[in-house]
Structures are given as C-alpha cells and as structure tokens.
Amino acid sequence: MSVLLETRALARHFGAVTAATDINVSISAGEIVGVIGSNGAGKTTFINMVTGYLKPSSGDILFKGESIAGKAPRQVMRTGICRSFQVAQLFPELSVLDNVLIAYGMVKQPSLSLFKPLATAANIQQAEALLDEYGIAQYLPEKVLTLPQGVRKLVDIALAMLGEPAVLLLDEPTSGVAIDDKFELMDTVMRAVRRCGAAVLFVEHDMDVITRYSTRLMAFYEGRVLADGPTTEVMNNEQVKEFVTGHHLDIHPQQENIHA
C-alpha cells in the first residue's frame, strides 16, 4: 500500500507545555487507523497540525511525498485531507440544506460566483442525495441548531466528505452521541468512506468503537505515540494498558474489524 500521509519528528509546544513531540507516523491508502489516549495526550493537537489549524513547532508533514507543514487549512483541504471536529463545525443558524448547498458551492467552485444562483433544483437534488447517503435527508429543512448531536456529527462528516478526501481525519466522531446510536453512526460513515476509498484516522474514547472499526491503532500518551500497530496488539500492550486504557481488556478476534 502506498503511503499517503507521513509525519516526521512532529512537535508542538505551547510555551513550556509540550502538547506533542517526536510524532513519526505514516498512513497508507485504505487504512482505518484508530487513535486513543487520555485527555491532553496530543491526539487533537496531532490532527490540528496535520490539517493546518496549528503550525508545528518542528518536524515535517508529508502528503504524497510533498511537505504540507504550515499550510493553511484551506490549502491542506485542497490537497486531499479533510476533517470533522469533536464539536461539529457547521453553520448553526442555517438549515441543513443551506449548510450542504454552501459547502457544495465552496468545494466545487472555490472562486465563488457572484451572480450564479446556488439553490438551483440540480444543487438541491444533489444535497438531498448526499444526505440520503447518510440517512439524514429528512432533516434537510431543519435548522442545524435544533438537530440532535448524532445528526450534527453526520452533517459535519458529510461536509468533510464532499471534498472527496484521500485521507479523512475524524476527531471523536461519536462523542456526545447516544450509546445506542454510536455503531449506527460509524457504520454509516464507514460505508461512505469505503465508497470513496479514503484512508481514515479517527480519534475515539469508546474502546468498543475502536476495536470494531480500526485495523490499526495508535496510542498517544503525554504528546508521544506510545504504541502503533494492529489494534489487538496495541490494546494488549502492557504500557497501553497501564497508561492509556487503564485496564485489561479481553479482545476476541471475532469482535474485531468486522468492517475492515
């Protein structure tokens, strides 16, 4: 598998605080990588650096062999790396339809036409089709502000997927979502991901979600990658048990990777 994303000795400091240091990872096409770690372990900092939200203090980020370190989020997005957020980043006072139409207009035509109408029948139809793919077409006229967390998360991910990414970074896609809805949400996302063939890196606190969907796992601890490898291996790593998960888990092979 060809390497898409690679980081070399990536580090980020906030004054005397080291949020991330010496992060050397690579993600290949088609991989589904889970990321675990306690709060403050550097997971979101890592995603923020890769997607241009934060400039690395040192180190390099390569996408398809070219450095993207320090590029603005919009430039990173245009290279083929898209992301969703821990707290869904949408246009809350607007309807879901307007959210998708705006995103569609921006992604497909970044020069932003001044007089060509956006809400054409064809564009509305495409917005409906997109949301239908995520099973949320019924929310089209609703204001984002009124939506349940799970639906907001799906809209957030749907907008990220509009960019047809080669690498999709999901920051806690199931946080704030009801336990019963987590798997359904992840199933929907993974179906969409498989269709576009993107590699996925997702940060998650729910170990059931991690073991079910990731083929590879990275455990962060105090800004470093403590362990990186096949999910079962990392979950059974003694250091990971001690510093990250905090307990021993019985991982049965049949539970794993059913969507891999």
Partner 1 sequence: MRSFTLLLMALATVLLLGLGWLLPGWLTFLLTIALAKSLVVLGLLILMRAGLVSFGQGLYYCIGAYCVGIAGHYFDTQNALLLMLLAMIISTLVAAVIGLLLCRYRDIFFAMFSMAFSMILYGVLIKSAAFGSSDGFNVKPPLLFGWSPGGESGPLLAYGLAVVAVMVVCSLLWRYLRSPMGYAGEAVRENEIRVEYLGVSVQRILYTKYIIAAAMAGLGGAITALAAGHIDPDMAYWTTSGEFVFIALMGGTGHVAAPVVGATLFELLRTYASQISPYTWQMILGIALLAIILFLPKGVWSLLERIKKGKTS
Q: In the complex, which residues of this chain contact partner 1 (CB under 8 A)?
A: 51, 53, 72-74, 77-78, 82-83, 85, 89-94, 98, 101-103, 105-107, 109-110, 112-119, 159-160, 162-163
Given the complex with partner 1, which of 31 and 156 has the nearer CB atom?
A: 156
Query: Which residue type does 253 have?
Result: P
Distances (CA, A) of 201 to 32, 154, 204, 209: 6, 16, 10, 13
Strand ranges (E), the chain: 3-14, 17-23, 26-28, 32-36, 58-63, 66-67, 81-84, 167-171, 199-203, 216-221, 224-230
Supply the minimum distance, in Å, between the C-beta of residue 156 and partner 1: 8
Minimum CB separation from partner 1 for residue 114, in Å?
5
Contact between 164 and 196 under an 8 Å Cβ cutoff? The reply is yes
Pick the closer one to partner 1 by CB: 176 or 229: 176
Q: How far is the CB of 183 from partner 1 (least distance, A)?
A: 26
What is the nearest approach in angstroms of partner 1 to the Cβ of residue 210? 24
Residue 139 tokens read as 């929310």
Paired residues of 227 in beta bridges: 219
Nearer Cβ to partner 1 (55/74): 74
Q: Are 214 and 34 in contact (CB under 8 A)?
A: yes
Cβ atoms of 97 and 127 closer than 8 Å:
yes
CB of 159 to partner 1, least distance (A): 7
User: Smaller CB distance to partner 1: residue 94 or 137?
Assistant: 94
Cβ closer to partner 1: 117 or 253? 117
